A = this chain, B = another copy of it.
Amino acid sequence: MQNSFTEENYLKIIHALSGREGQEVSTNALAESTSTRAASVTDMLRKLADKGLIHYKKYQGVRLTETGEKVAINVIRKHRLWEVFLVEKLGFGWDEVHDIAEEMEHIPSDELVERLDAFLGHPRFDPHGDPIPDAKGNLTEPDYLILTDVSLGEKVLMMGVLDHAPSFLQHLDRSGITLGCVIEITEINEYDKSASVRINGSHSLFISLEVSKNLLVQRR
């Protein structure tokens, strides 16, 4: 028995919301993320539990089972590989690919995924800097810093984004902030935590706390 489009989406979202420690995810959090009502979530949770994809006890929240985790990670693998394809091969912008990948991630065919992976040269990260699980289902989240945790004067590498919204990504494009660029913090305003930064040692610009909060970076 195959998992439906909808079931796969639930698993992927449970994976995302339960975070690194695999914490319990609440019905309401899922209703929010799936844009459905809590009652609909409860129905689906019962179904996923019956299929052995989640651990579920009424009123207690849910966690993925080993099987559920495997399915979720495979969907994530496909999503991120297709995003690489769309950007690297078809020339889409990183702000344009998420919704398309959201559809492509559900195409079933292990052979397809493996061939796509090879065609793309076994990429390790997607266009947003998110790690791509390997064929065996290993997904290691690199431990990046958020730019707000970086001190005045430090130089860091831009490694990823927390907000994947097109509007945010387009804002970064306009600011000249791209994956891999060097960000040096030249000023921090105590009042609102806004900052001035220098990009790749050349142009300077002002960024708000909202932007800093959504930038993943790494010390060099």
Contact = CB atoms under 8 A, between A and B. Distances in A.
A116 B109 CA distance: 20
A104 B116 CA distance: 14
B103 A115 contact: no
Interface in A93-145: 96, 99-100, 103-104, 107-109, 111-112, 115-116, 119
Interface string A17-38: 0000000000000000000000
A47 interface: no
A1 interface: no
Interface of A: 86, 89-92, 96, 99-100, 103-104, 107-109, 111-112, 115-116, 119
A119 B103 contact: no
A92 B104 contact: no
A110 to B, nearest CB: 11
A116 B90 contact: yes
A112 B91 contact: no
B107 A103 contact: yes
B115 A91 contact: yes
A109 B86 CA distance: 12
A96 B109 CA distance: 11
A186 B156 CA distance: 73
Nearest to A116: B90
